[in-house]
Chains A and B, each alone.
Chain A
């Protein structure tokens, strides 16, 4: 079973990712939990008939959040796809989901991600990270645990660079 880092811990992942290519032939099986491409998810929402539990939603880098944002709250998991190491649009997608749409469920980053990106992901509000195959999860976990103070804080607790550094210094 594939493993992910969730809330700082390495855990087994039970969610089945359904890709756009698999969407046409997709039929929910009893007892399974799914993460579906946005369009497919939307087609089944809000009733999700035939599903054992409400599926999560897969957001691609070219998906628009604004038209679907209200209903996304219903999803237990939002998975944001990072199609390439260098494609960082998902960092903004994640930040927006937390900052503007107040999404409080599991926010998962998945795709072509390497351990070095884990601290950035966490600071953008992702509490679950599914790294590319072959990445060392313990190393990623260590990076997350060792994260020091930063100039920006995180999406949950943002601050300007000098905030709390100037007091008493002048």
Chain B
């Protein structure tokens, strides 16, 4: 994991001081609401319904046990004892006091954390494959490049006041586990025919009101040119992106307005005229970044020697379920990747309390090199677990409600905080999530359904990424009433696809039944267990689902 040096610490502490001053000026009436808005947003501070929300950056989802403990402290001291993992791998505190924010930022700085650019119209946290470094299908580790992008984009003088927010995602594996095609810039590490490492570059993906998949604009960008090329893209966007309409301000609108070819031409022209040596990454500096993400020393361990004593049949079944759903392949045979589920029944998706944060820190230290990752699916990952430790880890994770064996199933619901918290939302999302979770509490049924993604956004901003869910739910306000629109057939990853609206939106109480009918039809129609929901949907189309969901029972 990356370790701060003096410059990193100085940047963060300068920023804390600066924000403290800005807050004081605001509270003293010297800084107008309009002027303070971009400043506070760039420090992750939203003014919400009940209380301000502070979003903390977890760069590309990597967090240490020490940092987890600090989050636990902050949750206890400044919030209501918990925090929330976002779909962009960050952490949110939902109950902070505005005057205490500078103090919280100070606390975060002591463990090399911050809230810089977690909101606002600037370059946001770079997201990444949660299996980076341990995936079997990896060409190169994306994290050193994420770190380089993190630094380059932090307080970049030219790009702090963009037309709209700007999100970058990087992967280094063949399979896309970071939804790069739904980002303003998606980067995929590849090798060219000569074996050189570089990037395939995608631009113009995004969700929100006008969801779009990104367009590839460069098939191979040598790694040295990464920042020079990013700068060219951002400069074209900053000059020509629309600022007159919030909903037309993302780069996706510029790309589609200019046409991909014209946009690409402009980026390449800007790149050619400004790609001077100062902007190129040297091999030494790339290697230096890579030196923080070296492969840990993996001990030999023999899973066969692990003796599970006096285990009841019921425990055995639960353990095996967990192994099947929550444990994933590691590139080293004797190791495994473990998902800690934040989707226990009755819990808001992605929420984690202070006691759990401390216990996860302990687990990470004992079982996974003191590092944890956050995921876009709002779960946590321990990436380097010895297979011989799995049973012990399962036992402990079960004891703290983090072993719900439903990763990747319908019950692994992704959900934004919605109208209960968020000032932007126009409907609640959490009660819908709870009702669906309650309806589908039969594990055998969930396993029969197999991999199935369900995501719920409380408004058109689409923070839960419902557009790329197999089953997406979007809250819409109709004359002050909460209604929910269902989209089907969305997919993330290499075959990214936007879901299609099924039909008229439904009142909250009807949503669980509608979802039940959707999955029932899927079970009836699928050719065999191998046919995924998305494949079945593509094959049979929307109509049968629509007929089933909107059928009136006589």
B-contacting residues of A (Cβ < 8 Å)? 61, 84-89, 91-93, 95-96, 99-100, 114, 116-117, 119-124, 148-154, 158-163, 165-166, 169-170
Q: How many A-B Cβ pairs are below 8 Å?
A: 113
- The 8 A-B pairs of least Cβ separation, nearest first, read A88-B161, A166-B288, A161-B151, A123-B157, A162-B285, A120-B157, A92-B238, A151-B151
Known: A85-B35, A91-B160, A170-B291. A165 touches B5 (CB 8 A): yes
Known: A151-B11, A165-B7, A169-B288. A124 touches B158 (CB 8 A): yes
Query: How far is B238's CA from A144's CA once the two chains are assembled, in angstroms?
Result: 24
Q: Are B274 and A100 in contact (CB under 8 A)?
A: yes
Please give me the residue from chain A that is nearest to B237 by CB atom.
Answer: A92
Interface residues on B, range: 35 or more
Residues of chain A within 8 A of B5, CB atoms compared: 165, 169
Min CB gap A159→B, angstroms: 6
Q: Are B160 and A88 in contact (CB under 8 A)?
A: yes
Residues of chain B within 8 A of A95, CB atoms compared: 158, 235
- Per-residue CB proximity of B1-39 to A under 8 Å, as 1/0? 000010100110010001000100000000100110111
B539 an interface residue at 8 Å Cβ cutoff? Answer: no
Residues of chain A within 8 A of B35, CB atoms compared: 85, 114
B156 an interface residue at 8 Å Cβ cutoff? Answer: yes
A-contacting residues of B (Cβ < 8 Å)? 5, 7, 10-11, 14, 18, 22, 31, 34-35, 37-39, 121, 148, 151-152, 154-162, 227, 235, 238-239, 243, 273-274, 276, 278-282, 284-285, 287-289, 291
Please give me the residue from chain A that is nearest to B149 by CB atom.
Answer: A161
Q: Are B162 and A88 in contact (CB under 8 A)?
A: yes
Query: How far is B37's CA from A93's CA once the two chains are assembled, in angstroms?
Result: 24
Query: How far is B230's CA from A152's CA once the two chains are assembled, in angstroms?
Result: 13
Known: A92-B239, A95-B235. A148 touches B14 (CB 8 A): yes
Known: A100-B273, A119-B157. A161 touches B152 (CB 8 A): yes
Query: How far is B155's CA from A91's CA once the two chains are assembled, in angstroms?
Result: 13
Min CB gap B178→A, angstroms: 22
Main secondary structure of the interface of A (DSSP, over half): loop
Q: Are A166 and B284 in contact (CB under 8 A)?
A: yes
Q: Are A88 and B159 in contact (CB under 8 A)?
A: yes
Min CB gap A24→B, angstroms: 25
16 A-B pairs in the complex with CB atoms less than 8 angstroms apart = A86-B37, A87-B161, A89-B238, A89-B239, A91-B158, A91-B160, A92-B158, A92-B235, A96-B235, A114-B35, A122-B157, A148-B10, A150-B155, A152-B156, A162-B288, A169-B288
Min CB gap B17→A, angstroms: 10
Most chain B CB within 10 A, of A61, A89, A122, A123, is at A89
Q: Are B161 and A86 in contact (CB under 8 A)?
A: yes
- Can you name 15 extra interface pairs (CB under 8 A) apart from A88-B159, A160-B227? A85-B161, A86-B37, A86-B243, A88-B158, A89-B243, A100-B273, A116-B39, A148-B14, A150-B11, A151-B155, A158-B278, A160-B281, A166-B288, A169-B5, A170-B291
Min CB gap B10→A, angstroms: 6
Query: How far is B288's CA from A162's CA once the two chains are assembled, in angstroms?
Result: 8
Main secondary structure of the interface of B (DSSP, over half): helix
Query: How far is B160's CA from A85's CA once the two chains are assembled, in angstroms?
Result: 11
Residues of chain A within 8 A of B160, CB atoms compared: 88, 91, 120
Residues of chain B within 8 A of A88, CB atoms compared: 121, 158-162, 238
Q: Are A116 and B18 in contact (CB under 8 A)?
A: yes
Query: How far is B291's CA from A153's CA once the two chains are assembled, in angstroms?
Result: 24
Residues of chain B within 8 A of A149, CB atoms compared: 7, 10
Query: How far is B61's CA from A22's CA once the two chains are assembled, in angstroms?
Result: 54
Min CB gap A96→B, angstroms: 8
Query: How far is B234's CA from A124's CA once the two chains are assembled, in angstroms?
Result: 14
Please give me the residue from chain B that is nearest to A99 by CB atom.
Answer: B274
Residues of chain A within 8 A of B287, CB atoms compared: 166, 170
Q: Are B38 and A85 in contact (CB under 8 A)?
A: yes
Residues of chain B within 8 A of A91, CB atoms compared: 157-161, 238
Min CB gap B290→A, angstroms: 10
Min CB gap B491→A, angstroms: 35
Known: A91-B161, A152-B157. A160 touches B10 (CB 8 A): no
B285 contacts which of A87, A116, A160 (Cβ < 8 Å)? A160
Query: How far is B151's CA from A50's CA once the two chains are assembled, in angstroms?
Result: 51
Residues of chain A within 8 A of B154, CB atoms compared: 151
